[in-house]
Structure 1
């Protein structure tokens, strides 16, 4: 592959590969490729020192909730939030056998404050931003971490129990203590943040690195992914993926009606009020079998048999800001099963919406895995008030939840997915980001 241009497909492929590889050499190469984009040299959109490649941040204006991303994401013409293109997930192991010390907490807090000074929170205060040249992240703690020093928060179910509850193998549970999710439209921002957190650089985007996670957390797992229009078609070895599709199964997601407000998934009381819970999965998709079907069949299975494929469009773009799923579609599940022999994924998930017809979970990642060997895996993450909300949503996908005569291969998308791993985490509010303990 030729890398003779800083733009276009060659540059995007290079950046994806660099983020997947990681390390300071990948960071330097990635920065060289992305430096050609004029958005990295713009000074009108944010404060930037002479040594900074991207607008710098201000810790005093970063929201109290780590998961408060909604106001700092790019939005499309229909008002749908657009997730940043690059994602990096780091599984972490707490290195000490003793309860966290005040010194360790100060160290961790200072390390993330460095990131907040180095990069602005997502798009910052800009309205109508077309690109996310900042950084968004969450640091969540697993049940096994809390078990070591006290009680597991009531809202946090162990991943083994989640797997069993949805009919999957308990052995596929993640085993790390914490998970750090970083995301941005620029791969070099993720690599720079990772390097700063683990002591691989003395400065990050013009800010001196005075504290790291070294000696407190060890990286034990590293996953990468991409999401966005055209990226799955570039990444995947499948000519049937639509060129403009933002996700590997062809249709876009993140419609306004299918994403609850952040307040809906925020803990309202208790020791971690202001935080949330997170479920993170690595899934494999049988794309060959998915694309062996017609566009009409895929539309019915992804959305609802009542959806007209012409009204949906090749990638769902014709739906605009609304998925088109209604309470009538939920009520018609038995009728659709008899008439069409098919049930839709979105239609099934709508069964667990609340009295206001809002979904209980907020999806935050559906990125094509760039570190996967066969290229057919993706990272899925969601935040919700309790992990039980995720369980109920996931169970709504299962075939045995419905007393209808519909074969598994026509029962939404569940039959095309294989779970490789799952993890559950509590994302504390920012004041408790550093090694919280629950009594």
Structure 2
């Protein structure tokens, strides 16, 4: 994103308008960044995690995650407990973003590009421990790591996190500058409030996703030219995602909000692409899926992943017959028992651009209960199955290493500014 920062000054500066220059049009975000509509906070849903109506849809009706991703891991530096003035400052900072940029696509039917901004703000157990008890809805990250069989010391150590996403790189960068109090105006809107003095940035993570971007940015010739993610297949099929109301906390002080699992992963793409396309299809989806059916990047499946209850019930039979277990059929074990409904809603994902020494991956999901994330992650583990299948043939778990994880509660807009639980 540094290239965007140097070339898209119109949004980051203190200009009264956001009219880009000719130089701005030649950015990584493309010519669509020439127009960035402003927003209306009063028209937005109260649930910050409600993005689906404001996302681009593909030809099959699947939601398409924004291409540009920025995750800010935050350390709390405010008062104990937070003051009314600090809450007003933080709330004004987020309202500034909502006035400066439309919420995603603005809800435009048939939008093909997300010119606006979507964000999440989540608070970690560490934050709440400063003032009292951790909310019942919030699982500690070390507990989550231990329950899924990972090192409990691999917590991200943040007090809070902000996720900023858009299809326009300059929008994400401008939102960051405004949020941290480094500019007086953003997209022609006066900046009122910031996180400065209340939070500091402990870590900054950048990422990209989108059709053709991994093949262009990563040094792996085997990545399909049309793939939106670095492992070569699309994700987020409509049948595999719950509704936004389905991941909403139903009672307690954070009713209407949700929980957030933030993960930084490392991918072993060298070994992954040692397999041919048919072998990768078996491992990513299910041995019952054919390579031809899935297509080069998964788009052949349309809006349905093709994973059925029968596929889940036949894991042992597939393992014996094919010597392979699929990732999608494994995690489908964590769906609802009565209606086979998914419980985890992907919100943003992308290969990391701030870790050139390895292929990193940023992943965020929201769910009503973080225990649902635990159940899905445990379903990936080899030891959960009584089958004679080598780890490299057991879904994708052998190709994914956890760097760290964090757990957060995402309040509603009304409660987003320094909640005490």
Provide, for residues 225-266 of structure 1, a one-character-per-residue CA deviation record: whole Å limited to 9, x for no partner.
Answer: 000001111121111111111000001011001111111101
Measured at CA, do residues 299 and 79 of structure 1 come closer, stay the same or move farther in structure 2, by a change above 3 Å?
Answer: same
Give the counterpart of 1:407 among 378, 386, 390: 390
Give the counterpart of 1:347 among 329, 336, 339: 329
| Counterpart in the other structure of 2:74 | 92
Give the counterpart of 1:35 among 22, 25, 40: 25
Q: Does 1:18 align with 2:14?
A: no
Provide, for residues 145-200 of structure 1, a one-character-per-residue CA deviation record: whole Å limited to 9, x for no partner.
Answer: 01111211112111111111111111110111100000000000011111111121
Preserved contact between residue 74 and residue 203 of structure 2 (Cα < 8 Å) = yes
Aligned-partner Cα distance in 1 for 2:324–2:6: 42
**Map 1:110-149 → 2, pairs under 5 A:** 110-149=92-131
| Counterpart in the other structure of 1:376 | 359
Give the counterpart of 2:137 among 140, 155, 171: 155
What is the TM-score of this pair, normalised by structure 1?
0.90
1:129 positional shift: 0.4
Provide, for residues 360-398 of structure 1, a one-character-per-residue CA deviation record: whole Å limited to 9, x for no partner.
Answer: 111122201011122411101110001111111100000
Measured at CA, do residues 352 and 297 of structure 1 come closer, stay the same or move farther in structure 2, by a change above 3 Å?
Answer: same
| Counterpart in the other structure of 1:398 | 381
2:403 aligned counterpart, secondary structure: strand
Preserved contact between residue 23 and residue 191 of structure 1 (Cα < 8 Å) = no
Give the counterpart of 1:430 among 403, 413, 416: 413
Aligned-partner Cα distance in 2 for 1:344–1:315: 16
Aligned-partner Cα distance in 2 for 1:353–1:399: 18
2:153 aligned counterpart, secondary structure: helix
| Counterpart in the other structure of 2:55 | 73
Aligned-partner Cα distance in 1 for 2:389–2:358: 30
Moved more, 153-162 or 16-25: 16-25
Aligned-partner Cα distance in 1 for 2:378–2:5: 32
Aligned-partner Cα distance in 2 for 1:385–1:22: 40
Measured at CA, do residues 23 and 185 of structure 1 come closer, stay the same or move farther in structure 2, by a change above 3 Å?
Answer: closer
Number of residue pairs matched by the alignment: 411
1:351 positional shift: 0.8
Measured at CA, do residues 85 and 267 of structure 1 come closer, stay the same or move farther in structure 2, by a change above 3 Å?
Answer: same
1:116 aligned counterpart, secondary structure: helix
Structure 2 unaligned segments of length 5 or more: list them: 14-19
| Counterpart in the other structure of 1:12 | none
1:24 positional shift: 7.3
1:22 positional shift: 11
Aligned-partner Cα distance in 2 for 1:82–1:191: 21
Give the counterpart of 1:358 among 334, 341, 348: 341
Preserved contact between residue 237 and residue 375 of structure 1 (Cα < 8 Å) = no
**Map 1:171-320 → 2, pairs under 5 A:** 171-320=153-302
Preserved contact between residue 11 and residue 186 of structure 2 (Cα < 8 Å) = no
Aligned-residue RMSD, C-alpha: 1.9
Aligned-partner Cα distance in 2 for 1:120–1:25: 17
Moved more, 31-40 or 340-349: 31-40
1:34 positional shift: 4.5
2:38 aligned counterpart, secondary structure: coil
Aligned-partner Cα distance in 2 for 1:38–1:17: 18
Preserved contact between residue 301 and residue 342 of structure 1 (Cα < 8 Å) = yes
Preserved contact between residue 8 and residue 170 of structure 2 (Cα < 8 Å) = no
Aligned-partner Cα distance in 1 for 2:7–2:46: 29
Q: Does 1:389 align with 2:377?
A: no
Q: Which runs of 4+ in 1 moved over 6 A?
A: 20-26
Structure 1 unaligned segments of length 5 or more: list them: 1-15, 42-52
1:195 aligned counterpart, secondary structure: helix
Aligned-partner Cα distance in 2 for 1:379–1:176: 15
What is the TM-score of this pair, normalised by structure 2?
0.94
1:125 positional shift: 2.7
Q: Does 1:321 align with 2:314?
A: no
Measured at CA, do residues 139 and 19 of structure 1 come closer, stay the same or move farther in structure 2, by a change above 3 Å?
Answer: farther
Preserved contact between residue 224 and residue 369 of structure 1 (Cα < 8 Å) = yes
Preserved contact between residue 135 and residue 184 of structure 1 (Cα < 8 Å) = yes
